[in-house]
Structure 1
Amino acid sequence: MGDAHGPITHLETSESWERLRSQHLGRIVTRVGDVVDIFPVNYVVDGESIVFRTAEGGKLAELTVNENVLFEVDDYDALQAWSVVVRGTAQRLEQGEEIADAEDLPLRPMAPTLKTNFVRITATEVTGRQFERGPEPNLFEVQPY
């Protein structure tokens, strides 16, 4: 694992990709002008990119205006929690071959709706942290620096 500082550990890039591969539901953050939106999406990791499907609508329109996105996935249990954030660009797949490749991925809509558009997020930065869970420190005790 990466650098540890108390209950927080910074994950190496490879560890962050492993965590991304372990889940199937994440959140994509878009920005158009002053409007920031967040959308839950089910996804798969394809190599070192993220692919999801979407219907026509706001999410796809926003990605057309500004391809820069954040993508976040997290999980937790009684002992630990983790979060991975991907900064990157999102592109709707338009070439026949890349769409055919995406159709072969194990990616199906979570809700039974028609989602004919495939989007690939190409990462420019991947960061992850793991958090050990436990009781909150006493506010009035001296904490180490």
Structure 2
Amino acid sequence: MFAVTQATDKHLESVIQLDLEVLGSTIRREFLVASVNKGNVWVALNDYDVVGFVVVDNVFFGHPFIELLIVHPGFRRKRIGAMLVEAIELRIETEKLFTSTNQSNTPMQSLCESLGFQQSGYIENLDEGDPEIVYFKRIGVSDGV
């Protein structure tokens, strides 16, 4: 059974370690420390172990933006990513939620589409030869309304 909760100092090293395992670098360490301290990180727990996390902030033209979503490789395809995004959707106070991913990241694209996100545009030149796809979802509004 998995649970999602806001990250605290007690989760910080696990978040950093998971990011290192997936990314292969500690380049985001300061960003993750600052994000946990601001209350912008939510973790998925398997008992007491962090198996995934999401970072969200109001940095995209004043709208909530999922900046980073990481799931431990051994726990992928178990709805962890979906649970993290759904937890954010329940907590944001606006109708719009944005995220983005590289064109090469087909698993994240599939997750976004399965959760009802729509492509909203592309950003070229962030990662050479791998455009960023921006996704948008309207929260709290049912289809057809």
TM-score norm. by structure 2 comes to 0.26
Larger RCO (CA within 8 A; separation ≥ 6): 1
Structure (1 or 2) with the greater strand fraction: 1
| Structure of higher CA gyration radius | 1
Report which of the two has the higher share of helix. 2
